[in-house]
Amino acid sequence: MVVEDDENLLVGVAATLQAAGLEVQTATSIAAAHDALATGGQDCVVFDRMLPDGDAIGYVHLRRREGWGTPVLFLTARDAPADRVAGFEHGGDDYLVKPFSSAELTARVLNLCRRPGGRPSVLRYGDLEMDCARREVRRAEILLSLTGKEFAVLEYLLTQAEQLVTRTDLLEHCWESEADPMSNVVDAVVKRLRRKLGGPELIHTVHGRGFQLGAR
């Protein structure tokens, strides 16, 4: 589903995704989207943020608290770092800033649509539990305080538990496209996550290759 109040952009985005083989529903307001989403069956929702009846991140946040798990991509002209962070912290799975390339939009939407059954409600590994809808993480039943980026990295590691995850994988799934692949941002976030998760250690470095979430 694409939710966008600019009719020309709505038609263009829908046509782009249809050309990639997707069936596309459209809506021009939060209320119209809500009615259509009530029928279910969507693999992904692309939300413009500023719609005639409000900011879509507020709607997504409320739905996440109700347990709604359909992946969401925010497509918006709001490009400040704080806006991006807010998008993820309020339940977005991806964030793409206008103007954008059709190829990048298609790749991001297809990636979200590939998630089996949408986003799982709860991810678990050992005594670690992540409630994706409520944006809460607990270890040994203790609630942890994570930033939006820490949450995104941990979520991806949990979906790939006991598998090797490269730094490139994390950059592609958890950072905006302009993230510098040569920077140490991934290592810095993983280091903070390790500290917050405590022991026994769950995130292990596979030297020269990446990271692996699992027990040892």
Looking at the fold, whether 23 and 89 belong to one and the same domain comes out as yes
- Where among 113, 145, 178 does a domain terminate? 113
In the predicted model, what is the mean pLDDT of residues 202-213? Answer: 92
Looking at the fold, whether 30 and 95 belong to one and the same domain comes out as yes
Secondary structure string (H, E, C) spanning the chain:
CEECCCHHHHHHHHHHHHHCCCCCCEECCHHHHHHHHCCCCCCCEEECCEECCEEHHHHHHHHHHCCCCCCEEEEECCCCHHHHHHHHHCCCCEEEECCCCHHHHHHHHHHHHCCCCCCCCEEEECCEEEECCCCEEEECCEEECCCHHHHHHHHHHHHCCCCCECHHHHHHHHCCCCCCCCCCHHHHHHHHHHHHHCCCCCEEEECCCEEEECCC
Q: What is the pLDDT of residue 179?
A: 55
* Rounded-to-integer distance, Cα 2 and Cα 47, Å: 6
Looking at the fold, whether 55 and 146 belong to one and the same domain comes out as no
Looking at the fold, whether 17 and 108 belong to one and the same domain comes out as yes
Count: domains in the chain: 2
- Where among 113, 137, 171 does a domain terminate? 113
Q: For the segment 46-66, what is each residue's pLDDT rounded down to a tens digit? A: 999 999 999 999 999 988 887
Q: Beta strands 128-131 and 136-139: pairing type? A: antiparallel
In the predicted model, what is the mean pLDDT of residues 67-83? Answer: 86
Looking at the fold, whether 56 and 127 belong to one and the same domain comes out as no
The mean pLDDT of the chain is: 87
Q: Give the CATH number for residue 153.
A: 1.10.10.10
Provide the CB-side half-sphere exposure for 200 (13 A, CA). Answer: 7
pTM of the model: 0.56
Looking at the fold, whether 84 and 41 belong to one and the same domain comes out as yes
- Where among 53, 79, 113 does a domain terminate? 113
Looking at the fold, whether 12 and 109 belong to one and the same domain comes out as yes
Q: What is the pLDDT of residue 69?
A: 81
CA 92 to chain centre: 5
Looking at the fold, whether 98 and 185 belong to one and the same domain comes out as no
Domain containing residue 181:
122-213
Sorted by sequence, the CB contacts under 8 Å of residue 165 that are 6+ apart come out as 156, 157, 210, 211, 212, 213
Q: For the segment 113-161, what is each residue's pLDDT rounded down to a tens digit? A: 876 555 556 788 889 998 876 778 999 999 999 888 898 899 889 888 8
Looking at the fold, whether 146 and 101 belong to one and the same domain comes out as no
